[in-house]
Structure 1
Amino acid sequence: MPMQLIRGLHNLKKQSSCVLTIGNFDGVHTGHQEIIKRLVAKAHELKMSSLVISFSVTPESYFGRPKARLSSFRDKHLFLKSMGVDKHLLIRFNNSFSQTSATSFVENILVEKLKVRHCFIGDDFRFGKDRLGNYGLLEKLSKPNNFIAEKVERVSFENQRVSSSAVRRCLSSGNFSMAEKLLGRPFAISGRVSHGDKKGRTIGFPTINVGISRRLSPVLGVFNVLVEINKEICHGVCNVGKRPTVGGEKTLLEVF
């Protein structure tokens, strides 16, 4: 059965009891994967659907503090699907949602609308207006609302707490090996090849352009790469950032 994508609470159809988790899940690193594995296993045990809540606009971006995104929405969605999640609820973080108190979020959304029966959250997760909600409050509200709250402790690797911020630091410093270990897979940027100005081909250097201007890139720089075109492997140079030779304001991934 394919994973169901629900864009907004208003598109939520008749909901049965579920096991859920909530977060940004940027990069879906090994810490996130531990939460998802436990979520899916518990849902199978209880014979309920597993549901992941994430945001189309992150709280940081809404409040003007955007961070470089490790994964596009599409990549995140496909990874959750590959892990066996049944439903992915995408909530738009806006002014109305930001004013929702932590108690109201639990009672009116998690309990009343989503019918949660078991909820997993990370040990440092915060929710509700002014980030006043935490695991302690969730556990307190779980008993009178007939669900179980379970805290998942942060995963560590070589004495480093696994987090999206830790992955960003590794990437920005060029430590791709450690980033791969924290992510559980090599870091990747995906996107559609777009038509550029075609200036490169006029001087003998045609390029492949992938637009990433809608998000801050966690990686900037020039890299030696291998490119597969029609099953043929070629050597190339990849620039991630502003166009170094012809100007431009958009952030692009260009392979020469």
Structure 2
Amino acid sequence: MLVQRGFSRPAPADTALTIGNFDGVHLGHRALLSRLGEVAQGRGLLPAALTFEPHPREFFTPEAAPARLSTLREKLELLDADGVRHCCVGRFNARFAALSAEQFIDDVLVRCLRVRHLIIGDDFHFGAGRTGDFAQLRAAGERHGFAVESMRSVLLDGERISSSAVRDALAKGQLQHAERLLGRPYAIDGRIVRGQQLGRRLGFATANIRIRHDRPPLSGVFAVEVSGLSGLNGLDSRRDAPPLAGIANLGVRPSIDANARPLLEVHLFDFDRDIYGAHLSVRFLSKLRDEMSFPNLDALRAQIARDAAIAHEFFAQRATGGSNADARLLTSPFRPHPF
């Protein structure tokens, strides 16, 4: 997929285009992208997407912006997997926010992205003050020679599939519901960095992954599986090598780090290799518990051992297709802990 940043040059060909934030690239987005591919193939157009960085709500109201489901890199990889061959990443800043609806159509859609068929969601608005709507796009299409169609929201058991619905499920620890909305387990990608070696001293060495955004959409301790290590340091080099199982803690660890930045710590079962610098994908399969504080390291070590035992049970049931292939959620007050 060709990634274009900004609007300084035109797309390489006439496009079938869709527009959105595509945070998480859930099943609603994927239905739209599937339709985009059909149109592009049928009309001989380049399947293209326009997305924004940062999220518009991060620009207008950063203090109230939603938690990110995906980084820009993750989003681009997901769009590429769903058949987008040209993605324009528009910098959402004061200048872009001030564009009128007419300027957006003329300068962005027509001149830059060479749109010939536009597919949008049923709640799409654009231009300064969000004054542009479907009727204005259709009228512009008649003038400039592009077709416009709107797709209805995709429902799952009567619930509208949306990024907000995914965030809500993740925040509540409902990982299986989030997986149904996404069409895949929720995952966070990142590069392993050196940490404080606390996990190793406790007998549970961890791979530490810095989170790109300050507020991840979920927190706690989870059963996870990890991919991205194929062929590294003597590991199975097959492209279809199975993921590795483990447990992970995602939180800010304020009792250890005064800066309280989010950190994802992953302990892989039966694994002891140097993998610093590797770029991993961590898939969250089941929530084991909320974060909690401990009076000393011995208590923390004992709790991690219990977490690992429950995660092992989860993976054993999952491997045999057990009816209860979900780890138990251990209820406890939400308190930070230094795992």
Conserved 8 A contact 2:11-2:112: no
Instruction: Tell me the secondary structure at the aligned position of residue 204 of structure 1.
Output: coil
In structure 1, the residue matched to 2:40 is 43
Q: Aligned in 2, Cα 1:236/1:35: closer, same or farther, shift over 3 Å?
A: closer
Unaligned runs of 5+ residues in structure 1 are: none
Q: Aligned in 2, Cα 1:194/1:149: closer, same or farther, shift over 3 Å?
A: same
Instruction: Tell me the secondary structure at the aligned position of residue 179 of structure 1.
Output: helix
Instruction: Tell me the secondary structure at the aligned position of residue 191 of structure 1.
Output: strand
Structure 2 Cα separation of the partners of residues 145 and 224 of structure 1: 52
Structure 1 or 2, whichever has the larger Rg, is 2
1:245 CA displacement: 5.1
* Mapping for residues 121-132 of structure 1, pairs under 5 Å: 121-132=120-131
Listed one character per residue, the Cα deviations across residues 103-146 of structure 1 (whole Å, up to 9, x for unaligned) are 21012210122221110000001211111112222122211121
Conserved 8 A contact 2:15-2:46: yes
Structure 1 Cα separation of the partners of residues 11 and 69 of structure 2: 33
Structure 1 Cα separation of the partners of residues 166 and 11 of structure 2: 38
In structure 1, the residue matched to 2:196 is 197
Q: Aligned in 2, Cα 1:149/1:83: closer, same or farther, shift over 3 Å?
A: same
Taking structure 2 as the reference length, the TM-score comes to: 0.70
**Aligned-residue CA RMSD (Å):** 2.1
Q: Find 1:255's aligned residue among 266, 272, 275.
A: 266
| Residues 1:241 and 2:259 aligned together | no
Taking structure 1 as the reference length, the TM-score comes to: 0.91
1:233 CA displacement: 8.6
Instruction: Tell me the secondary structure at the aligned position of residue 209 of structure 2.
Output: strand
Moved more, 243-252 or 46-55: 243-252
Moved more, 101-110 or 149-158: 101-110
Structure 2 Cα separation of the partners of residues 156 and 226 of structure 1: 28
In structure 1, the residue matched to 2:7 is 9
* Identity across matched positions, percent: 39
Structure 2 Cα separation of the partners of residues 14 and 233 of structure 1: 38
State the structure with bigger RCO (CA 8 A, min sep 6), 1 or 2.
1
**Equivalenced residues, count:** 253
In structure 2, the residue matched to 1:79 is 78
Structure 2 Cα separation of the partners of residues 181 and 189 of structure 1: 17
1:214 CA displacement: 2.5
Letter in 2 for 1:238: A
1:199 CA displacement: 3.2
Conserved 8 A contact 2:219-2:250: yes
* Mapping for residues 94-109 of structure 1, pairs under 5 Å: 94-109=93-108
1:244 CA displacement: 6.0
Q: Aligned in 2, Cα 1:113/1:239: closer, same or farther, shift over 3 Å?
A: same
Moved more, 230-239 or 137-146: 230-239
1:158 CA displacement: 0.4
Letter in 1 for 2:183: G
Listed one character per residue, the Cα deviations across residues 137-165 of structure 1 (whole Å, up to 9, x for unaligned) are 21222111211110010000000001000
In structure 1, the residue matched to 2:49 is 52
Instruction: Tell me the secondary structure at the aligned position of residue 144 of structure 1.
Output: helix
Instruction: Tell me the secondary structure at the aligned position of residue 35 of structure 2.
Output: helix
Conserved 8 A contact 1:15-1:113: no
1:253 CA displacement: 0.7
Instruction: Tell me the secondary structure at the aligned position of residue 109 of structure 1.
Output: helix
Letter in 2 for 1:60: R
Unaligned runs of 5+ residues in structure 2 are: 230-234, 237-241, 268-339
